[in-house]
Amino acid sequence: MLTNGMTVCAFWEMAHLPIIYLTTSIVLLLLSSGASRAQHDCPPAPDCAPSDQSSRFRTIDGTCNNLNEPLQGAAMRPYRRLVDAKYADGLWKPALAGSGSPMPNARQLSMALFGETEMQHPRHTMVSMQFGQLMAHDVSFTADAFGMQCCADGKMVPADQARSPRCLPIEVARDDPVMAEEGIECLNMVRTKTTLEDPCQGRGGPAEQLSSVTSYLDLSVVYGNSLEESHKLRTFEGGLMRVEHRHGRDWPPYFPNRTQLCDVKDETEACYLTGDRRANQSPHLALLQIAFLLEHNRLARELAILNPRWDDERLFQEARQINIGQYQAIVYYEWLPIYLGRQNLVAYGVLPEQGTQPDFIDDYDPSVDATVSNAFGNAALRFFHNLIAGHLDLVEESLQPTGSIRLSDWLDRPSVLELDGNYEKLSRGMINQPHDRPNFHLTPEVKHFLFRSGAPVGTDLKAIDIQRARDHGLASYNAYRQFCGLKAVRRWDEFEELLRPISAAAIPAQYESVEDVELAVAGPLERHHRDGMPGETFTCILLEQLRRSRVGDRFFFENGQTGLNRRQVHELRKASMARILCDNTVGLERMQQRAFFLVSDDNPVVPCEQLPVVELMRWRTVEP
């Protein structure tokens, strides 16, 4: 029996406190007011007693992956720290500059240091950018940081009108060239819930932010992060996940109370129930979510034919294990070399050297903590926001673009997929349209119009990234460079070696001291490092985590701990994003062999049946 393990505990409600930041004394008072673990309805420690399932299949919530530390990497647990947290009060309050003055305004940093010119990448498709977002959602989700109104209709909610102490809105200058013209005075942001607010964590300060998803690459975006979530997504027949048949194809089920989650006018518009509430954020993200959902059902049906005696639970777990294994193979062998560079991955031990791949990469190490680091999930992974394109192409069967849709028109509105054949057109567009170049520019669609919900303007993704890093107490840029064994910046002119010329010239005007410069600001401005896209500091943080995510995952498909035999591992290594899309996209009968790259002479369009396939005969059991 799979254990539910750690679930969301009853959090303290502090919305009645009429201040924006809790002072150290107030937080300590709250923590000392009888908030012991025994006085709250906290779940018991998970039971990781050995069993057939615990040794072969991962739990939904990530518990018992590490048998020595059952909660390690589980959902609703704190992020891991690479560098000690930096708070103004040592506990929770966002950091100040070294002089004691406030840090530069996040929106002004976004406007001064990050451009908004869209430039197409010469080789990579939108699928590659979108897969990165799917992977990021799989391993990191700030806990309970949505839903509160700190800044309503562009105006600060007054402190005497139940403004939560977890509000950390971003002020907008009166001369802001885009926002101010529409009367916007602030951008909404809610602080992530932390260990200070959760008595079930059994911790004092300083605050550690909670992630509501597992740290493992386990397709929790499809399967959920608790048994309760998972059960809502299953049929409990034939190992299948729930789908609804409309317009000649299967879709995720509708989300209950759609108007509360999606930007929909009424309950007739599509808004999907998946393992991750963010699945509805963009049309392309929803397409990938649907592809991996349908892949599970395809696998379960084929396994049922091969193994007619398997019951629902066995079919579900086996299909889930194969689906996750294919996904992990795509992450490490197809996607990561594009963005971090094969040379970097091999040098850091994330991948084996070319041509030396054994039957099993048998280096699972229970002493390695796979928990996602705060800097990885809330700074370095956000580098890929620079790759977002502002318009999504609609492509006909002839592979000719016939128009496009504006991204900000359809954020949190997946119903566009069910209109006028857009599912096929947007699917073809996703594999034929290039994403933006990796540089210091962001499309205006996310810099000024993100989640605008039909209004003239929305919010600023880059400003949110900067403010979120402050919320999480991420240390300075220099602190992370020193962690990575890199030379710290001591003079402004030293940035000329690290950043692009325009960025190196602009950054001194924004900060009082080089020691104040933040990871979330300088990190994405760095020049590319070797054969990867990010700079050397972000590359270090990304590689550090991705090695842990593989070596510290007892259920990683290649490490020989999961009951998969070498022939099954060999089959899973054949997985590709192209085949996943081909097998699960109605109307897609031909595509290029490598979905993350544009069509070219060495990446031609071929019939789907010519793409390598994972042969499920390797999972057929011989019944007595």
pLDDT one-digit tens code per residue, 329-352: 999 999 999 999 999 999 999 998
Helices (H) and strands (E) in the chain, counts: 21, 14
- Report yes or no: 339 and 384 within 8 Å, Cβ to Cβ: yes
For residue 267, the Cα-to-chain-centroid distance in whole angstroms is: 28
CA distance 620 to 561: 20
3-state SS of 558-604 is CCCCCCCCHHHHHHHCCCCHHHHHHHHCCCCCEEECCCCECCECCEC
> What would the pLDDT profile of 143-165 be if each residue is shown by its tens digit?
988 778 899 889 998 876 667 88
User: Looking at residue 495, what is its pLDDT?
Assistant: 98
Q: Which of the pair, 511 or 149, is modelled with greater confidence?
A: 511
Q: Which of the residues are catalytic? A: 137
* DSSP percent split of the chain into helix, strand, coil, nearest 5: 40, 10, 50
User: What whole-number percentage of the chain has pLDDT above 90?
Assistant: 80
> What would the pLDDT profile of 129-142 be if each residue is shown by its tens digit?
999 999 999 999 99
The SS3 of residue 171 is strand
pLDDT at 98 over 90: yes
pLDDT band at 20 (very low <50, low <70, confident <90, very high): very low
Q: Which amino acid is at 188?
A: N
| Structural domains for the chain | 75-137+190-364+375-619 (1.10.640.10)
User: Looking at residue 576, what is its pLDDT?
Assistant: 98
Is 472 flagged in the annotation as binding? Answer: no
pLDDT at 32 over 50: no
pLDDT band at 52 (very low <50, low <70, confident <90, very high): low
Collect all residues with Cβ–Cβ distance below 8 Å to 105 and sequence separation of at least 6. 170, 171, 173
User: Looking at residue 165, what is its pLDDT?
Assistant: 86
Lowest mean pLDDT among 135-149, 195-209, 317-331, 566-580: 195-209
pLDDT at 28 over 50: no
- As a whole number, the mean pLDDT across the chain is 90
> What is the phi/psi pair of residue 450, to 5°?
-60, 130
